[in-house]
Structure 1
Amino acid sequence: MSVRMSEVAVGDQLPALSVPLTRADLVRYAGASGDFNPIHWNGRFATEVGLPDVIAHGMLTMAVAGRLVSEWTGDPGAILHYGVRFTRPVVVPDDGTGAMVELTGKVAKKNDDGTVKINITARSADQGVLGGASATVRLPE
């Protein structure tokens, strides 16, 4: 999808996105990122350190949330700024299904400099997993 500045209004909702994360996804991400912390693949270790089970990498959660915006703009290069706070981990059970990350976004502001601020909500297991998630994007006229 490619959206134009003239088509956007404050309050507009971005198309919702659901992203499944499985243990296999965590292994692939660990290989790509070099983050082999056992809390991301070893259930026994994760529970020994006080987690409910294996959790997704925070940066993986951030990346899938960023997809919401890049798919909406049709151009990942349109994202000028993107930030989040990690508020709760995404627990990924070893059940063949894994976890679902549910993403929504809303146009919060049209700036005078031709950019748009998007507020992002990320939830998993009916709980927010990112706080203060937002992106600033430049859209074509």
Structure 2
Amino acid sequence: MKHIIKIISMWFLSIIIAPIAYANDDVAAQIQIQNSKYENGYNSGNADAVAALHTKDARVMVSGFPTSVGKDAIRANITAETSGPAKLNLSLETTELDVAENMAYEKGRWTTVIKEEGKADITINGPYLVIWKKVDNKWLIHFDAVFSE
């Protein structure tokens, strides 16, 4: 009898836990898509595409620079970063993701390779922390803290 109760308990827990794990996998896939859009927008200098991935009152904190608040400020800063003579190649790597209903936090590492004609490539990198917020069924960046090493 104990064996049957144990099996039923495990079965019941799997029914409860499996959808949660699946939901987190689904969110991870959605956030990965958003990160790819960010990389593509940034690397092509499309500040509008990058700004569109943020909530209307998003905050972006980059070490050594003033905090950007709102899509217009974020757009302006991305334009400033990507409009120079160098070609930037940003890549993002998620190392941890945790989801709670309509909010998620992502820890990761960023790497940017700076290529400028006639000069050696420069690689810079560091960790980042993003708080994602689900707005109108889309995951958007609500807070982004970027650090360099």
TM-score by length of structure 2 reads: 0.29
TM-score by length of structure 1 reads: 0.30
Instruction: Say which structure is richer in strand.
Output: 2
Identify the structure with bigger relative contact order (alpha carbons < 8 Å, sequence gap 6+). 1
